[in-house]
Structure 1
Amino acid sequence: MRALPAVLSPLLLLAATAAAPVPRPSVEVWLTLPDKSTLLARQPSLPLQRGTTGTIAVDPGKRYQKMVGFGAAITDASAYLIQRRMTPQQRTALLRELFGTQGFAFTRLTVGASDFSRSHYSYDDMPKGATDPALAHFSIAPARADVLPTVRAARAINPSLAVMLSPWSAPGWMKSTDSLVKGTLRTEAYAPFARYLGKTVQAFAAQIGPIDYLSIQNEPDFEPENYPGMRLSAAQRARIIGDHVGPEFARAGIRTRILDWDHNWDKPEHPLGVLADPAANRYVAGVAWHCYGGDVAAQSKVRDAFPAKDVFFTECSGGEWSGPWADSWSWTLRTLVMGAPRNWARGVLLWNLALDEAHGPHLGGCSDCRGVVTIDSRTGAVTRNPEYYALGQASRFVRPGAWRIASTSTPGGIETVAYANPDGTRVLIAFNAAAETQPVDVTAEGSHFAYRLAPHGAVTFRWRRPR
């Protein structure tokens, strides 16, 4: 028998190539059902076929906002549990899951204490009656214990992790109450407070890398009774930002972007008032929102008035009040994970990344809040809560830098939101709001696919445009 030639001729090579099977384009499917029988589980892929039949249209040619990502706050409580109540192996596994597999790309840190701290403190505490306008006693030592190591580890897993800072209170000596609890910022403390925020951003950045966003006050229209807080009117915030924080950051070369409001949907007049001030408007990059009052559509109302400003959703907590698993999961998915981006949010953050079995540790404030995960303070075991699965329908698939793109919904049936990732993949998240199984017939860029979604179920589709 003659030996085969060592090198195939061009014609034989062409024939061999032509005979090789061409992979058919397909659509990945990831499903969660309200009875928990299926939780963010991969399903058989669907064929992506040529044609434009379909009741749900996805149009990558129509872009809205570029996404920063999804995630949750690394509070003092969350970091304490991760660092002090887990073994090194448990800690590594959880952080890799959250910031790797789960895809969290956005987090929020507190400047000083919140109610989810084991003590109340700022970074420049003084005895009653004493002041420190030169900030000679400034120190971020409390954050170095647990929070900053946790963020460093998260950024090592996901280098694109975006970080936001929010103070719950200025140091007590800057305030009308001379206390971290209640009160407002004294006018003569506006400049020291701006320097305090600037020093915090610089000190954190030296430890963990760039600080992307800062709100000057968490929930400025609320004075908590038993944990740090500070009331600041829209007029006060406009002066603080326009005359002090903005210029202070500019002088110091701080590129951290300033967000206003960081409070509920029910009072859009607050951020509208700040953005209407020319001095403040110059320095405000966007508006941050919370979920505890009003409707998510407020985000679009303010964005329509100031389309050059970014929108972020920065806090909502699940808890024992929020009803059965299915109700908590579906509300979080529909209102925050889908609804906030459909109303221009570039990022979506829930509150505590982790709490323990007793809803803490905390000092004052919410006694029945729930973390995205629960860490057993005795064993380090992890329970994944409804919010984990709601976030995961987006965070695992929507990459930083993705564009939200146009997608239609079917009235009373399938609700959707869609994205185009930087790598060319398309993502569609769909929720069935009906009480019966609904068809999800999708057309995009000359192709289509079909699926049937169970009542109140959610599905994420991911595919690449056929060539």
Structure 2
Amino acid sequence: MKQIPSPRLLLLCLGALTNWALAATPSVSVSVNPSIQFQEVDGFGCSEAFQRAEDVLGKDGLPPVNQTLVLNLLFDQTVGAGFTILRNGIGSSNNSASNLMNSIEPFPPSDSSPSSPPHYVWDGYDSGQFPLAEQAYQRDLQSLYANAWSAPGYMKTNHDENYGGYICGVANTSCSTGDWMQAYANYLIQYVRFYHEAGVKVTHLGFLNEPQYAADYASMLSSGAQAADFIRVLAKTVKESGFELQLTCCDGIGWDDQEAMLPGLHAGPDPAIQYLSVLTGHGYDSPPSYPLSTAHKTWLTEWADLTGDYTPYTFYQDGGQGEGLTWASRIQVAFTQANTSAFLYWIGAENSTTNSPLINLLDGVVVPSKRFYAFAQFSRFVRPGARRVEAASSNPVVTVSAFRNQDGTLATQVINNATSSYEIDVKVDGLETGVSVQPYLTNNEYDLEPLAEIRTTENGTFKGRVPARSMISFVASR
């Protein structure tokens, strides 16, 4: 006769299975306190400098429908990432060969004197950057950052837009043609004026890019003290122009390099730091992992994987430089540990076989990378004017950040760096019962995938599960 287990034995077995299941899926507690606020967010973005804008505009055959798709992916909040910052390159070349950016003053005055009237030219195109900026503004762009990699060569100590050199007139330079600082300041303001007269507003202005690196392309060297010499001239010129501009400095090649320039910006009876609105740095030589020594806003304005072949479908494989999880973590660290207010990748979209863009346009096909979706996990849900708020995780393998938007929505980013899924129990101080929470998942299988809606229970709590090597943004409604 077949024996039937007793009810008590069945209950014991069921309990054991339940305990095993709970033990098999680790859990983590996340706490969010919107009343404890930190830095204001200005946004996320990219650049299309060095003629990359022309890639988007179809120079190499990208069909019109895909041109629109790329613009929407980059700048439309509903369709794509909703980037709100675009970084333009102010050209310094007297031709547009290769990927050079045209100067608005390609040749010096006839007598090569900095005090002689300049001969400015404007083609209304600016290596494709002007029409692209127009399109970006139509999709809710908030900030247009015009940034010069170099002054024109005739204004510099080495007489070349490339290979470093210094702007003539700053400390410890000597130029037979004289001091070009005022001429360079006028040049930068004229670039802004051309844009404004054509109906596109430049909001931020910078005059240096990676001033520690004498590159074989447009580049210009500077110490902090030398940058301060020019900032004083530029600030006076901006004031006289009547333009509402936020001045930036100095796009150091790494966060440590930017930190090293700060003493020079603070020095003297007329500290140049007082004329700046934003301090800008890159992540190549050293990452943004600590706050710069300043009360000013800080932006991470350039960083990219410049080493690998284009890998669009890898959110995580082995922790490589181009992977989506790598960039999701970098963005989170920049905001939570370095207190940045903005984060910009190098190139938004281009025809390339490397990881330098977020979106690849080879052969007329639009292929977003997992890096792009990692950015979109933040940029779509964390809007300009948001405030970072206190957020903590009970397990360091699951990292968190949270931001309160001006419309009252709360975006909490949870990154699971582990090889197993985690059950998460989120407690948000002050959040009411029954609030809608919409999760969005990105990993190797999904791109900003909306998951089932969650409702908060008592005391503003909600539960979810984050798969291994994944990121979820939990967006709580107003």
| TM-score, normalising length: structure 2 | 0.77
The count of aligned residue pairs is 393
- Structure 1 contact 315–350 (Cα < 8 Å) conserved: yes
Aligned to 1:249: 238
For 1:296, which of 280, 288, 291 is the aligned residue? 288
Which runs of structure 2 are paired with 1:113-192 in the superposition (5 Å)?
A: 118-119=99-100, 121-126=102-107, 131=112, 133=114, 134=116, 136-141=118-123, 143-144=125-126, 146-158=128-140, 160-182=141-163, 183-187=165-169, 188-192=179-183
Aligned pairs for 1:406-425 within 5 A? 406-425=390-409
Greater helix share, structure number: 1
Q: Matched residues in 2 for 1:116 and 1:458: separation? A: 42
Q: Does 1:93 pair with 2:66?
A: no
Q: How does 1:45-56 map to 2 (within 5 A)?
A: 55-56=29-30
Give the CA deviation at 1:117: 6.0
- Which runs of 5 or more residues in structure 1 are unaligned? 1-52, 359-367
Deviation at 1:164, TM superposition (A): 0.5
Matching residue of 1:338: 332
- Contact 1:205–1:211 (CA under 8 A) maintained in structure 2: yes
3-state DSSP of counterpart to 1:249: helix
The Cα of 1:418 is off from its aligned counterpart by 0.6
Q: 2:224 aligns with which of 220, 234, 238?
A: 234
Q: Which has the higher contact order (CA 8 A, sep 6+)?
A: 1
Q: Distance in 2 between matches of 1:394 and 1:272?
A: 33
Secondary structure of residue in 2 paired with 1:197 = helix
In structure 2, what is the Cα distance between the partners aligned to 1:250 and 1:93?
39
Whole-Å Cα distance in 2 between the matches of residues 143 and 132 of structure 1?
Answer: 28
Instruction: Report the secondary structure of 2:51's partner residue.
Output: helix
- The residue type paired with residue 252 of structure 1 is S
Cα deviation 1:189-216 (Å, max 9, x = unaligned): 1111111111112222223532121222
Match of 1:21 in 2: none
CA change 1:375–1:130 in 2 (3 A) is farther
AA at the equivalent of 1:384: P
Instruction: State whether structure 2 residue 264 is matched by structure 1 residue 273.
Output: yes
Please state how far the C-alpha of 1:261 moved relative to its aligned partner.
1.8
The C-alpha deviation readout for 1:358-411, integer Å capped at 9, x for no partner, is 4xxxxxxxxx452110112x4x21111132111011111112211111111234
How far apart are 1:154 and its partner, in Å?
1.3
User: Which of the numbers 70, 76, 82 marks the counterpart of 1:103?
Assistant: 82
Quick one: which amino acid aligns to residue 235 of structure 1?
A
User: Which residue pairs with 1:310 in the alignment?
Assistant: 297
Rounded to whole Å, the distance in 2 between the matches of 1:430 and 1:457 is: 8
> Percent identity of the aligned residues?
23
State the SS of the aligned residue for 1:191. Answer: helix
**CA distance in 1: counterparts of 2:287 and 2:212, whole angstroms:** 17
Could you tell me how far apart the structure 2 residues matched to 1:463 and 1:116 are?
50
1:434 partner SS: coil
What residue is the counterpart of 1:389 in the other structure? 373
Q: CA–CA distance in 2 between the matches of 1:413 and 1:419?
A: 20
SS of 1:185 mapped into structure 2 = coil
Distance 1:390 1:118, change over 3 A: same
The alignment partner of 2:393 has SS state of coil
Counterpart CA distance in 2 for 1:228 and 1:428 is: 40
Residues 60 and 54 of structure 1: is their aligned pair in 2 closer, same or farther, counting only changes over 3 Å? Answer: farther
Partner Cα distance (1:407, 1:116) in 2: 49
Q: Within 2, Cα distance between the matches of 1:347 and 1:451? A: 28
Where does structure 2 lack aligned partners over 5 or more consecutive residues? 1-26, 170-178, 431-458
Query: Comparing 433-442 with 59-68, which one deviates more in the overlay?
Result: 433-442
**C-alpha contact (below 8 Å) 2:414/2:473 kept by paired residues:** yes
**1:354 maps to which of 349, 354, 368:** 349
Alpha-carbon offset, residue 463 of structure 1: 0.9
Give the aligned partner of residue 284 of structure 1. 276
